Amino acid sequence: MRTPFPFSAIVGQDEMKLALLIAAVDPRVGGVMVFGDRGTGKSTAVRALAALLPPIAAARAGYQIADAPPPKGKVPVPFVDLPLGATEDRVVGALDLEAALGRGEKRFEPGLLARANGGFLYIDEINLLEDHIVDLLLDVAASGENLVEREGLSVRHAARFVLIGSGNPEEGELRPQLLDRFGLSVEVRTPKGIPERVEILKRCDAFERDPAGFTEHWGASEKKTLKRIAKGRDLVGAIEVPDAVLTRAALLCSTVGADGLRGELTLMRAARALAALEGNKIVEATHLDRVAPMALRHRLRRNPLDDSGSNARIERALAELAA
């Protein structure tokens, strides 16, 4: 198995890394959509985070046969890369034709959703994926279950995973109602600073020449990041969100014109996960403000009279609340 690039060694892209850490602390945030240029480390960051996380119980990962005893031991956190050309049967699972034709048995052949259980499901260029597949993925990600009914076969199995999508808006936009289903949305761009670009080249070259040595060099930073995630997971369920912060979330969503209540819910969950990640026991307004762009930028209607963009609208709304 190829050695993954260390998460802590990724240069820049701070918003993307923070969104992924928040999702790792609390998957209920609802997944992450990453928009940006090609070759900016999107899939590298997700693979790195999955590899960084501690192994999970085998009984929590993948597809479990209903009548079989749960497997023992631990396995790496699953990371499943869903290809654009995947059929619906490959995604959700189907009847095992070999068993059906050869032995007359109705046996379920797990799909990619089953393999992703307990881990991450990554879809590059999700804006080019067929709409009905995206609808299916979002429904399963929200419910945590996958129901398959094929050729007289009916199977329901756990499918709890963090959905990560990425795409380049120039190659096709994602429908607004689908974007709204993602918890967080982040933007990544090709670094413009020469020192930053040089540092990326150095680290990529060092990793390619000696993956083991490079990984060992970043071992202490990886352990520190892992400790933050583990501590955050322990804290997040008990963290208090004061009414003043909830009111601020509602006012912010109302001011920017976010439709529905998903914005408020995501703001609350993401701010709580951020507070847990930083070891706080109470969510503060600063936590809310820091996650606001990620939680809201993809939920705003386009205003033909305001071409300043979602980020500017959110920043103005935050400034008004602070006044």
Residues marked as catalytic: 262
290 vs 318: CA distance, rounded Å: 10
How far is residue 90 from each of residues 24, 80, 95, measured CA to CA in Å? 26, 12, 11
User: CA end-to-end span of the chain, whole Å?
Assistant: 54
